[in-house]
């Protein structure tokens, strides 16, 4: 599905921002500098763009050692320390790096995202401004029935008439409620001067949750990694995972050593309970352990078995 997330005026503003280079003596990262202000398309009308950042891989090392210099002279030593910090959950040095994103996203994704309460957020105000007529309509391959085994997940893909009906309902409801929203506001072209119009803060209640909003989202690297560990996970909802994937790519350009450690010790790793570790030891000793003899409940056993299936 094509992404037309910018008006010509917005595209011109982004191009202008990218021409305003500033000299600085603070550390910068060339790979992220090349990405600044550029919008990475997400979903049908959304985007993520990095606006500003502070720190780099060396800043993590500098904070850990409380040194006056920029890490060590050997990148390998810095990488070893960063991996040690990640492995042993020494999180404070990662808080020395910060990044700010500009995100355009559907309201229902924003409501899921805002549960991460460790960032500074400023959202587009629908009390002050009028929301654009843009809605998220899923691609057919992302229309799925409710999972029979996971209450917060998807099951089989809908197809044929079922999918067509759902898409028509989503599109029709969004169009209709936005038309009523614009009518209640009675602003802009075609406004009736005899009507006062409803306050913007009230008219917005009628909009569907697939309407797009925007915000600035600023966080430190430790909290960003926590966000990504949950939202870039394969089990995360698709509509928020694609934003996390775009942000992870920017993070890898910004702090490649820390991002690699994050992939190894968080995103691609699993956590075993003390009981699970005990089961592993028994298996390594040659014992044939079953769920009945493991001490794990059924759900724990299913998760445990899934970790080690080829």
What share of residues in the chain are helix, strand, coil (percent, to 5)? 50, 15, 40
Q: Over the range 265-285, which residues count as b (16 or more CB within 10 Å of their CB) and which as e?
A: bbbeeeeeeeebeebeeeeee
Distances (CA, A) of 247 to 54, 185, 225: 16, 36, 10
Q: What are the structure tokens assigned to 282, written together?
A: 């028994």
- Is 231 labeled as catalytic in the residue annotation? yes
Contact present, 163 and 177 (Cβ < 8 Å):
no
CA-based angle 6:237:160, to the nearest 5?
Answer: 85
Closest by Cα among 139, 207, 14, 227 to 5: 14
What gap in Å lies between CA 80 and CA 86, rounded to an integer? Answer: 10
Could you tell me the end-to-end alpha-carbon distance of the chain, in angstroms, rounded to an integer? 35
Quickly count: other Cβ atoms within 10 Å of residue 119's Cβ. 20
From the candidates 49, 204, 231, 266, give the one annotated as an active-site residue. 231
What gap in Å lies between CA 51 and CA 30, rounded to an integer? Answer: 14
**Which residues are catalytic, by number?**
231
């Amino acid at each position: 599905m094509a992404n037309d997330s910018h008006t010509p005026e917005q595209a011109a503003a982004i191009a202008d921002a990218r021409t305003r280079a500033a000299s600085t003596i603070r550390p910068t990262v060339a790979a992220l500098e090349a990405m600044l202000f550029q919008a990475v398309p997400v979903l049908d009308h959304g985007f993520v763009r990095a606006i500003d950042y502070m720190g780099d891989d060396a800043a993590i090392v500098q904070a850990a050692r409380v040194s006056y210099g920029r890490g060590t002279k050997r990148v390998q030593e810095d990488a070893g320390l960063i991996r040690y910090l990640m492995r042993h959950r020494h999180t404070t040095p990662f808080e020395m790096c910060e990044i700010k994103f500009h995100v355009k996203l559907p309201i229902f994704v924003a409501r899921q995202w805002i549960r991460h309460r460790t960032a500074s957020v400023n959202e587009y105000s629908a009390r002050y401004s009028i929301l654009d007529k843009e809605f998220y309509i899923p691609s057919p391959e992302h229309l799925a029935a409710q999972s029979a085994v996971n209450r917060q997940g998807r099951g089989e893909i809908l197809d044929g008439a079922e999918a067509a009906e759902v898409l028509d309902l989503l599109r029709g409801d969004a169009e209709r409620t936005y038309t009523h929203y614009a009518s209640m506001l009675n602003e802009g072209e075609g406004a009736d001067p005899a009507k006062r119009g409803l306050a913007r803060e009230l008219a917005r209640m009628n909009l569907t949750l697939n309407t797009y909003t925007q915000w600035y989202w600023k966080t430190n690297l430790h909290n960003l990694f926590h966000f990504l560990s949950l939202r870039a996970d394969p089990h995360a909802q698709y509509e928020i995972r694609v934003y996390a994937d775009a942000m992870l790519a920017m993070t890898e350009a910004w702090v490649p050593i820390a991002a690699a450690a994050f992939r190894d010790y968080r995103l691609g790793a699993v956590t075993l309970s003390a009981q699970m570790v005990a089961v592993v030891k028994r298996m390594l000793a040659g014992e044939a352990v079953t769920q009945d003899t493991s001490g794990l409940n059924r759900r724990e056993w299913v998760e445990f078995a899934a970790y080690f299936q080829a």
